[in-house]
Amino acid sequence: RLLSKPRVPKGELVHIFPYQNSLLKELGLRLPPGPSPKPIIGNALDMPKYFEWETYAKYAKQYGKHNNISSKESPFIFYLDVFGTPLVFLNSRRMVHELFERRSSNYSDRTTFPMVVDLMGFGWAMGFQRYGEWWRRHRRAMHNKFHPSAAEAYKSIQIKHTRDLLRRLHKAPEDFIKHIRHTAGAIIMEVVGYDIHIKSENDPYIHAAEEAMNAAGEAAAPGRFMVDMIPWMKYIPEWVPGASFKKQARIWRKYILDMADLPFEHVKAQMANGTAQPSFTSTHLERLAATNDAPADAEQVIKNTAAVIFAGGSDTTVKTLTTFVLAMVLFPDVQKKVQEELDAALGGVRLPEFEDMTALPYTIAAYKEAMRWHPLFPMGVAHAATQDDVIDGYFIPKGAIVFGNSWFLLREEADFGPDMEKFDPGRFMESGRRDPGQTGAFGYGRRVCPGRYMAENSLFIAVASILQNFDITPARDSSGKEVMPEYEWTSGFFSYVIA
Ligand code: HEM
């Protein structure tokens, strides 16, 4: 199953995959000099269940040393066999660039998701769709309204709701997460065209989106549900002992389908009676109505894309901002510096605008540092290989699920400077530093997050507005003493802070 002429590195094989041992002779390869690299992980049982990105990063370092790899970007690649499904983990920027960017036509597929798509009903979400024409149509519908200059159109919506956030924070600062969530939801709903429904923090659409996203977070982590490894299990009836995942999927499914259907139907009804505001959904639908030869499923593409924007666009921003708030508590000096910059630029007489960005490099660096310090998707979102491939002598079979270890990439000293655990926006003030948004925080290649321009705008205006007007400090106990928050990072598809 090997391609004709694999590229063979000069004595630099760092890790022989378990299955490669048997292929070495066939390839005419020899083991590199020095202690033989051992297979690190053999099967599903050895798979780290929690914070796997740290484990893989540790292996990468450990085996790099073991193999005397001097390069700053070791060609690290790990392989796991999970009941016959090959999982490949890329632990270097060079590898990620080579596969996801340069060979993107082969690494832009997704795997099947028996739990999330077949059972839970997430097939409408572009992020889970297989690479091909159906996905491309969704991606085009989104790109059309989210490329950098299209995202400009949303700035006034972002400003409006961020100002409202300041009022809410002023009134009840202790509910800051609730307010941030409300704001992110309000922005994305107005962009998509669902804004008419926001009546309270308990808005049913925001609630459905949160439930659905929490479900995705739980269910999409590799190895979380056996049915993803043994797909025929999806046919087991719900009453069979051990099939509780089916019941769980059924409960989640309602939220997931409602989330796509209900608000879309409502926008259509609003358009029919002339009360709809211009939005992603209404402008796409209007254009569709004016097209004579549109395919029959064109409306479904609009509905699906509106839903995925709604789904992907709020929780991601909320969780990144929550990480930022924690960082401000833990690193008060950074907070002071951002505030000094804001005061110098705005003179304390007006609120920040997007036009101020050029005068606020440290503020920009601060939100970028939040994406680097603790990326929301530490292992990105897995891509899949369409065809067999070989890289540096490693064979990657067709169908392999390929992860980029973004967490590790965002901790490369060569790219971001020293003291990786420190929240230090100052690192971006040095020349030659990489942008986290282009180093895995938004994923890779043709599947890179299409909402990234809008997301960065939301982060910037929120960070600038909040820190210009508030100090973020630890809470105080009854005697007035500051108490540092207890917090932990979740593990799974997303990793975010819970306090
Ligand atoms: C800080 C906020 C955000 C982060 C950290 C983030 C991160 C990501 C990542 C890591 C991926 C996977 C890329 C890959 O497969 O390599 C992704 C995909 C995606 N994101 Fe975002 N995202 C954010 C905000 C948003 C927003 C605001 C939207 C919508 C407006 C959005 C919509 C999507 C969609 C639709 C996909 C699927 C793309 C595809 O599979 O082709 N994201 N995002």
Task: Write the CA distances from 65 to 55, 174, 340, integer angstroms.
Answer: 16, 47, 43
State whether the beta carbon of 185 lies less than 6 angstroms from ligand 1: no
CB 122 within 8 A of CB 257: no
244-272 vs 298-330: helix axis angle to the nearest 10? 110
How many A from CA of 253 to the centre of ligand 1?
21
How many A from CA of 449 to the centre of ligand 1?
4
State whether the beta carbon of 6 lies less than 6 angstroms from ligand 1: no
Our mutation pick for probing the ligand 1 site, out of 316, 317, 374, 448, counting the most ligand atoms within 8 A of Cβ, is 316
- Poorest-confidence range of 66-80, 116-130, 230-244, 466-480? 66-80
pLDDT score of 473 more than 50: yes
How many A from CA of 116 to the centre of ligand 1?
17
Q: pLDDT tier at 36 (50, 70, 90 boundaries)?
A: very low
CB count, 10 Å around CB of 71? Answer: 11
User: Distance between CA 441 and CA 363 in Å, rounded?
Assistant: 18
Give the model's pLDDT for residue 24: 41
Give the model's pLDDT for residue 321: 96
Return the amino acid letter for 295. Answer: P
Nearest Cα to Cα of residue 117 among 263, 225, 1: 225
Our mutation pick for probing the ligand 1 site, out of 109, 122, 147, 442, counting the most ligand atoms within 8 A of Cβ, is 442
How many A from CA of 124 to the centre of ligand 1?
15
State whether the beta carbon of 313 lies less than 6 angstroms from ligand 1: yes
Q: pLDDT tier at 475 (50, 70, 90 boundaries)?
A: confident
State whether the beta carbon of 450 lies less than 6 angstroms from ligand 1: yes
Atom 40 (ligand 1) nearest CA: 127
Give the model's pLDDT for residue 72: 43
pLDDT 10s digits, 428-458: 999 999 999 999 999 999 999 999 999 999 9
How many A from CA of 252 to the centre of ligand 1?
21
State whether the beta carbon of 376 lies less than 6 angstroms from ligand 1: yes
Give the predicted TM-score (pTM) of the model. 0.87
User: Distance between CA 441 and CA 432 in Å, rounded?
Assistant: 18
